[in-house]
Structure formats: C-alpha cells, structure tokens
Amino acid sequence: MRDPKFPDWNHVLALALIFIGGSILGGIPLIIDLVANGIDLENLEDGLDLSGAMSRWAFIASAVPLVLCIVYGWNKMGKPKWSLGFENVTFTTALLSILGTLLVSNGVGTTAEYLPGYEGFSEMMEGLMVPGIGIAVAVMVVAPIFEEALLRGLLTRGYLRRTTPFKAILFSGLIFGAMHIYPVHVFFASIMGFCLGYVYYRTRSLGLVILIHFINNAVSYYFGMQENVPESSEELLGTGPLGVLGLAALLIAAGLGLLWFLGNNFPLAPPPPEDVEDSAERVLAEI
C-alpha cells in the first residue's frame, strides 16, 4: 500500500473523492434522525431543518470522512509513527505559535466580512451552530484532532518529505481551505492553514497545531452560542469599515510578526528519523 510519491495530485484527488463519499456515509445518521422525527413537509420549500439532527449527530457526520481520509493517507505514506511532538516545544515557542496564528486568523476573518457571500456564510453558520453535544464534539474535538492529523500529520509531513517547505505549507494550506467548501470560508481557512503548516514545519509538533486549532474553534463556538452578540465587527467596535480594516491589519501584522520572530530566533525542529530515511531513499532512487 505504501506509495513513495505520496502525496501527489492523484492522491489529493483520491482524498477528495473519499471525503465526498465519507460525507455522504457520515450523513446517514442525520437522514435517519430526520425521518424518525418527521420531516416538516409544509415548510419544505424553506429547506430542511437540520438543527435538531446536527445537535445530536454532527460529530459522526464530520468524523467519518476525515477518518477514512486519514486511513487512506496513513497507508499510502507507509504507516508512519505518530507523535504529538511536544518535546520540540517550549513555553515561548508555544506562546508565539498560538498568538501568532490566532491573531492572523482573526484579522483575516474580520476582513472576510467585506467579501461577497459573507452574509450567506454567516447565516449558514448561525443555522449550524446550535446547542448540543453533537455540534460541540464536532467543533472542539473532531475538527482539531482529525483535521490536523490529516492536514499536518500526513499531508504537510508528506510534502515536507518530497518538496520545499514553502510548497508543503502552500499546498496543504490550500487543501485545508478547500475542505471548508464555502468560498468565504475557503479564503480565511486557507490563511489559517498556512499558519498552522508553518508552525508544524518549525516545531514538528502535531500536538501544538491541534491545541491551536482547538483554541480557535472553542472560542468561535463559545461566542456562537451566546445571545445578543453584535452581528458585525463594525457594531462591536462602534466604527466604520476603515476602523475595522485598520484593526484587522494590525492583528495580521502582529501575528505575522510573532511567527517571523518564532522562525528567526528559535531552531528548526528536526524531522522524524523515518522521514529523513525516506527522503534519502528517494534521492538515491532518483540518481
């Protein structure tokens, strides 16, 4: 099953198909729940109300496609050993990584409010963010652990075996963004993916990027569950677009500054020994 070319674009296409198929499979409990609890045929023209089913089964719907992709990628990569890599992380590097990534992510997320389609995306997220254990587990457990295992633990790591760090971070970040489907979400998820990829490259710590992803999602979930939250950054800050974009620019600049400081003042963590051996074997095979 091991393929020394993993991940190439054929594997990415295979992962996309597996993800789509897994999403259909993972959606079966939602369908069963809808049927069991009755479908409101009178208001069907307004769309199916998935809030109840999502509150109970969202964690399965989100986990199934990711798990199937992880199993495929893990086998194609030669069943590499997993490690959280916290031995490569100090308090300072963790703090720089967490703050840097979250500042950039929130700054970019703020600018996204002015992009076409944001209003529809916001309404969709409001409909999905409903109280319930299913949503909470999907957002704060499934997404941080399984998405990072796939995107950083397999894809970024695999790309780092085969190509330059820049391309590894770029490709895995774009794939991470594409997984979020909705165009506006693709935009700022890709940016966060670049930051997470960079942190993983510098620290080789899967545990650290899982932690960053968890903090980001937990904060978003918490505020998503609150009532009477301002509907826009302009309302929250009491300012106009220039004030919001100015603050966003400051957040992004501060975050990038922290990540730059991380990269220029702390040593690059060594890759896992098996990755070094794999890269050496590939070079020898190409001679």
Cα dihedral 225→226→231→237 (10° resolution): -130
* Residue 58: inside a domain: no
pLDDT-derived band at 276 (thresholds 50, 70, 90) equals confident
Would you state the pLDDT for residue 44? 43
Mean pLDDT over each residue of the chain, to the nearest integer: 88
Q: Which domain holds residue 254?
A: 82-271
* Residue 242: inside a domain: yes
Q: How far apart are CA 35 and CA 189, in angstroms?
A: 33
Q: In the chain, count H helices and then E strands.
A: 14, 0
CB 200 within 8 A of CB 156: yes
* Residue 145: inside a domain: yes
* Residue 134: inside a domain: yes
* Residue 102: inside a domain: yes
The 10s digit of each residue's pLDDT in 100-113 is: 999 999 999 889 88
* Residue 2: inside a domain: no
The 10s digit of each residue's pLDDT in 33-57 is: 877 877 654 544 445 556 777 778 8
Q: How many domains does the chain have?
A: 1
Distances in Å between the alpha carbon of 282 and those of 12, 160, 201, 276? 20, 13, 20, 10
* Residue 4: inside a domain: no
| H or E element, residue 264 | helix 241-265
The 10s digit of each residue's pLDDT in 15-25 is: 999 999 999 99
Inter-residue long-range contacts of 90-95, CB under 8 Å, 24+ positions, other chains counted: 90/266, 92/266, 93/202, 93/203, 93/262, 93/266, 94/208, 94/211
Residue type, 106: N
Cis status of the peptide bond prior to 7, with omega within 30 of 0: yes
In the predicted structure, residue 280 carries a pLDDT above the cut 90: no
* Residue 60: inside a domain: no
